[in-house]
Amino acid sequence: MPNPSTPENGQSPDQNAHADRVRLILKSFESIQEGVAISDVTGSVMHVNAAFSKITGYPREEIIGKNLRILQSAHQSPSFYESMWQAIRTTGYWAGEVWNHKKEGEMYAEWLSISAIRNDEGEVTNYIGITSDITWYKQHEKQLDHIAHYDTLTGLPNRTLLNDRLKQAVAQAAREQNMMALCYLDLDGFKLVNDSMGHDAGDGVLIEVARRIQNTIRGGDTVARLGGDEFVILLLGLERGDECSTALNRLLSVIAEPVDIGGKYFVLGASIGVSIYPLDDEHTDTLLRHADQAMYSAKQSGKNRFHIYDPALDQRARNQQESLKRIEQGLQENQFELYYQPKVDLRTQTLVGAEALIRWNDPERGLLTPARFLPDIENTQFDIMIGEWVIATALQQIALWRANGLDIEVSINISAYHLESANFSDKLQQQLARHPGIPANSLQIEVLETAALEDIAQVRLIIENCTKLGVGFALDDFGTGYSSLSYLSSLPVNTLKIDQSFVRNLTVNKSDHTIVQGIIALARAFELKTVAEGIETKEHFDGLLRMNCDIGQGYVIARPMQAAALLDWVKKAAPIFGPCQQAAHENK
């Protein structure tokens, strides 16, 4: 007979109580809103609740037996996980923020806590992880951060973020030992827009100005809006003061372009004040205050300009601007002139060409060589204007000489900035078309080797387009750059011009002698002509002749001279060192 104390289900009261507890635990496990996962010591999943599947996208039957590493994203580094497991092994617990990805690949943020479960002997048998999806919180946090640090109208950094960026910029400039320019910009003429077109139109103008500034500055620089029509630009990594001047002139030009507002065009300007670290005080508040003061100086000086607070740099910038104005006036008043230095065949000592060298007949300072004014126009629009003038003047002179029976090649120097400017080959073709009687090969363009190497692909394409017109090209100052043979073979030049620094010491310096000899041998291997510049003595001349250099120029042959003087020089020129030179070469 059954025991009257035994329940009908056949289990004792203790067994029923245990079963009830298990059901309660399982029900609680499933009811928890946080995701729960239990794994063995290897990380393989043994149990998960419904919330875990909802958060991760992995159904229970699919995740069981898998390692939880499948949730990991690349957001955390391996060192992050090493530190996490070190804490679990040491304390038995870890909690923190983790970015993982769901089954479909979507990234999500979670607050994760992991606890180690030990048996009665203290050995870890399992791990339990509890996770909460905090993606919404991180997105909201990001939105609040954006509101706190960015201007709502233009999307630019606001004053708060600017202060942080400014501190970083000062630290970077100190670390890299270069300069940082803080530019305080206030629009000229903005009040008229607001008063005549309304604040909505004014907002549109501010958005457009912000866009123009962003598109003008470099990627690593910063533009911020302080409020109203005031902006601050941080220009980083400056090596020279004129880099700042170039960037500011570009900004002024871009802002001055007409703005279309409801069919009406407004032309604005900008007054910009600049303070430069480390030439100015290192404190960020002081830098900003000095730039603000300099901005008011720019306004008082006539607006639509910039003023640099630092006295020394300000003077240099003013000098450059003044120099550019004088150069522009000089072009308008025909103060520039080309001098020509003869180039002779070293074997026959006959004239084969001339290098055109620009001179400036400045009314106040007299005759100026290129070193006195070309650095001021480097990488500016005047660089191109001067270059175009040189091409036109050289072609006119070639035509005049040919009419007088002198048929020689004239080489001109073109900067990399000019060569790589828009439509260079098309403009050159137009210049040549104005002189149909001149063979295109009467003109040779000299480009510095170092300039050609800066953007080899673009320079090669431009040279190819020009050589199709018949114009020759020479690599000037060859040997001062680092041309590889592959670069040299890919450039369609016909002449290598040996830098005078090697020629000057070739008779007394074994290394320079070897370099010159190597350049000549290299040129012959590539079927290129060689021109040695800076020949100042008979020993230079004889040494180059023995090395089989093709052409030479220098003071021992002739100094640069005016175009009219070259005709007289040709008529009077005798063999420079007598006829024995050619014979000596032929007997060698």
Query: Tokens 């960015």 map to which residue?
Result: 150
CA distance 469 to 74: 55
Give burial (CB, 10 Å; 0-12/13-18/19+) of 263. Answer: exposed
Radius of gyration of the chain, Cα coordinates, nearest whole angstrom: 38
> What's the pLDDT tens digit per position in 164-198?
999 999 999 989 999 999 999 999 988 888 888 88
Do 357 and 560 touch, CB atoms closer than 8 A? yes
Distance separating alpha carbons of residues 234 and 215, to the nearest angstrom:
14
Please work out, in degrees rounded to the nearest 5, the angle formed at the alpha carbon of residue 488 by the alpha carbons of 464 and 483: 130
CA gap 234, 156 in Å, rounded:
13
Instruction: Map residue 487 onto helix, strand or coil.
Output: helix
Q: How far is CA 344 from the centre of its chain?
A: 42
CA pair distance 172, 236, nearest whole angstrom: 8
pLDDT in tens, 246-286: 899 999 999 999 988 777 888 899 999 999 998 887 688 98
* In contact, 575 and 581? CB cutoff 8 Å: yes
**Whole-structure pTM value:** 0.52
As beta bridge partners, residue 472 has 444
Nearest to 427 by CA among 471, 377, 367: 471
SS (H, E, C) 243-296: HHHHHHHHHHHHHCCCEEECCEEECCEEEEEEEEECCCCCCHHHHHHHHHHHHH
Name the DSSP class of 552. Answer: E
How far apart (Å, rounded) are the C-alpha atoms in residues 62 and 39? 14
Q: What is the pLDDT of residues 100-141, one digit of tens each?
A: 999 988 999 999 999 999 998 889 999 999 998 988 888 877
Angle at CA of residue 257, ends 256 and 259, nearest 5°: 110
On average, the pLDDT of the chain sits at 87
pLDDT of residue 586: 37
Q: Are residues 535 and 554 in contact, defined by beta-carbon separation less than 8 angstroms? A: yes
Q: What is the pLDDT of residue 585?
A: 38
Round to whole Å and give the CA distance between 452 and 461. 11
Are 549 and 532 in contact, with CB atoms under 8 Å apart?
Answer: yes
Distance of alpha carbon 339 from alpha carbon 410, whole angstroms: 11
Low-confidence ranges of the chain (pLDDT < 70): 1-29, 31, 282, 310-315, 317, 450-454, 479-487, 574, 577-588
pLDDT of 312: 67
Distance of CA 21 to the CA centre of its chain: 69
Cα(430)–Cα(443) distance, rounded to whole angstroms?
A: 14
Instruction: Encode 386-414: b = buried (16+ Cβ within 10 Å), e = exposed.
Output: bbbebbebbbebbeebbeeebebbbbbbb
DSSP calls for 400-457: HHHHTT---EEEEE--HHHHTSTTHHHHHHHHHHT-TTS-GGGEEEEEEHHHHHHTHH
Q: What are phi and psi of 71, to 5 degrees?
A: -85, -15
Specify the 3-state DSSP secondary structure of 13. helix
Among 515, 578, 574, which Cα is nearest to 547's? 515
The Cα-based distances of 491 to 67, 465, 480 in angstroms read: 58, 12, 17
